[in-house]
A and B are shown apart, each in its own frame.
Chain A
Amino acid sequence: MTIPMVAGAGLSDLDFEKFREYFYKRTGIQFTAAKRYFVDRRIDACIQSSGHRNFGGWFAALRLGDRTDLLQDLINQLTVNETYFLREDYQFDSLLSEVLPRVLAGRGRPGRPAGPVKILSLPCSTGEEPYSIALRLLEEWDQIDHVDVEIHGADIDSAVLDRARLAVYGNRSLQRVPKPWLAKYFTRIDEDRYQLDGGIRDAVTLAQVNVCDTPAMRAVQDFDVIFCRNVLIYFDELSSRRAAENLYGALRAGGFLFLGHSESMSRISPIFTPVRLPEGLVYQRPTGAK
């Protein structure tokens, strides 16, 4: 005998539309109709833990804007916050096949002297993202032997930076890393801990920086590519505007900015030019005299 699945509270279509529009306006994240069930369940969970009796009360509190804890809980519920190697690596595909060729083509033009290609991962958290970029470049970029590349990681949290420097990771974080790469670039400590080899660790520069802090970001300059994935969604209007301006300033003219898969600059700032790539959008600082 099968137990019929109860539909659960769920949202009316109208409420779902209101929520969808609000969430997009607030975070730049879009939900397709396919995600409806997923979103309904997550919202139910948020409502329950908030103490509000129903969607109406919870949504009204959320919209007022002063309950940052409600918003944080909602964003945490609706986004994947786990970090792991080669996360959303179709963007690394785009980096290799679309973006780096354009970066190389732009070198030597006025305003873009020859010199290392500079790539920044911000926030770099415990290092999976910048190290993923390093591994992909070493293993799969046909230009890596001809071009100097600087990889930088930055994060506001010094504790995660310490862990990034140590570069010890468990199976969960490493699950997408091809076994040959694991053997080649990591040393096994025990069955669930591997340390990235010193050569790669040393090749990545890590620094503590707050992306919203304009004076601090002044030291972050001349990058060809920045990965800033799934962090702008946490900022309010003021902070996300300032972060966007600081990221712009950190890029060279013509430099590229990757946001998270479902994020968009369209709700934050008009200063970047969107560029279509086969696997999604990337944002470009306009070319022109810097």
Chain B
Amino acid sequence: MGLVRRDTSPQVGKERSQAPAYDLLERHLNSPDPELRREAALELDGWDEAVPALLGRLDVESEPAVCDAILTTLVGYDTGPVAARLVGHLAGEDTGLRIAVADALAAMPESTLSLLPDLLVDPDHDVRIMTAMVLANMRHPEAESWLVAMVRGDAHPNVVTAAIDALLPSARAEHAPLLQEAMRRFPDDPFLRFVVETTVPRLAGTYR
């Protein structure tokens, strides 16, 4: 009783040398056991050949914890093909997956930004709203200019307000005319009026 020490010597090195083979991990990715799937998704980090299998699994996976693990690994691949496949989920029915994919895309700025021209003109306004959310959470100097483009050019008021809100944390006095123009385009939107009326005066005081 009391404090006991593990009898065996440090196991870390031993475990590493017994790393599962790729084939086993890929099989586990489709195991009926969700915990095995979750662990496999995390362990496939660094196996480039696993990317198609991970993307494919994401299409059919129902366990949120496994989706999170798959995305944690995929986020390490900031490449065009991966982002292009992930973006498809922004229009999906599964809200949880939409959100999780948006979080992942925000962490893959280079590849996601290359898709912005198409996303900005996606016919589904929900996809464009999700795009604003991705840009809101993305740490990249170009994100701001895409948000400005959305505020200036989108036809749907909820997309514009989503983009404005994403822009506000870094908004400066020079953005005031942009916001006022948005309010003029959608005069009946009480929220937009509120945003502009409360925010524009404060912008003048920023960055002394």
Interface residues of A (CB under 8 A from B): 12, 14-15, 18, 21-22, 25, 54-56, 60, 63-65, 116, 134, 137-138, 144-152, 200, 202-205, 207-209, 214-216, 218-219, 237-238, 241-242, 245-246, 248-249, 269-271, 289-290
CA distance A64 to B144 in the complex (A): 11
Decide: A205 and B6 in contact? CB cutoff 8 A: yes
CA distance A137 to B3 in the complex (A): 9
A238-B42 CB under 8 A given contacts A144-B1, A150-B4, A245-B69: no
Decide: B206 and A56 in contact? CB cutoff 8 A: yes
Decide: A219 and B15 in contact? CB cutoff 8 A: yes
Closest residue of chain B to A14 (Cβ to Cβ) is: B202
Decide: A150 and B6 in contact? CB cutoff 8 A: yes
B26 within 8 A of partner (CB) = no
Report chain B residues within 8 Å CB of A203: 3-5
CA distance A144 to B4 in the complex (A): 11
Closest residue of chain A to B72 (Cβ to Cβ) is: A241
Out of B2, B75, B207, name the residue touching A56 (CB < 8 Å): B207
Question: Which of A22, A138, A219 has the most B CB atoms < 10 Å from its CB?
Answer: A219
A184 shortest CB reach to chain B, Å: 14
B24 within 8 A of partner (CB) = no
CA distance A270 to B72 in the complex (A): 12
B123 within 8 A of partner (CB) = no
B171 shortest CB reach to chain A, Å: 9
Report chain B residues within 8 Å CB of A55: 207-208
Decide: B3 and A208 in contact? CB cutoff 8 A: no
How many A-B pairs have beta carbons closer than 8 Å: the answer is 115
Report chain A residues within 8 Å CB of B39: 249
A89 shortest CB reach to chain B, Å: 18
Task: State which residues 79-103 of B face A: CB under 8 Å.
Answer: none
Question: Which of B65, B75, B140 has the most A CB atoms < 10 Å from its CB?
Answer: B65
CA distance A156 to B176 in the complex (A): 48
Report chain B residues within 8 Å CB of A219: 11-12, 14-16
Decide: A148 and B2 in contact? CB cutoff 8 A: yes
Report chain A residues within 8 Å CB of B3: 134, 137-138, 144, 149-151, 200, 203-204
CA distance A18 to B170 in the complex (A): 8
B10 within 8 A of partner (CB) = yes
Decide: B206 and A14 in contact? CB cutoff 8 A: yes
Report chain B residues within 8 Å CB of A290: 35
B197 shortest CB reach to chain A, Å: 15
Digit string of B19-58 for contact with A (CB within 8 Å is 1, else 0)? 1000000000000000100110011010000000000000
Out of A21, A138, A269, name the residue touching B169 (CB < 8 Å): A21
Report chain B residues within 8 Å CB of A271: 65, 68
A207-B169 CB under 8 A given contacts A215-B19, A249-B39, A269-B68: no
Report chain A residues within 8 Å CB of B206: 12, 14-15, 56
CA distance A205 to B6 in the complex (A): 7
Pick 6 A–B contacts, CB within 8 A, sort by A.
A25-B137, A63-B170, A65-B139, A214-B45, A215-B15, A241-B107
Closest residue of chain B to A119 (Cβ to Cβ) is: B3
CA distance A144 to B11 in the complex (A): 26
Task: State which residues 151-206 of B face A: CB under 8 Å.
Answer: 169-170, 202, 205-206
Decide: B42 and A12 in contact? CB cutoff 8 A: no
Closest residue of chain A to B71 (Cβ to Cβ) is: A241
B117 within 8 A of partner (CB) = no
Decide: B76 and A238 in contact? CB cutoff 8 A: yes
Report chain A residues within 8 Å CB of B15: 215-216, 218-219
Report chain A residues within 8 Å CB of B76: 238
A39 shortest CB reach to chain B, Å: 17
A44 shortest CB reach to chain B, Å: 13
Decide: A146 and B4 in contact? CB cutoff 8 A: no
A259 shortest CB reach to chain B, Å: 18
Report chain B residues within 8 Å CB of A218: 15, 43
Question: Which of B5, B38, B72, B208 has the most A CB atoms < 10 Å from its CB?
Answer: B72
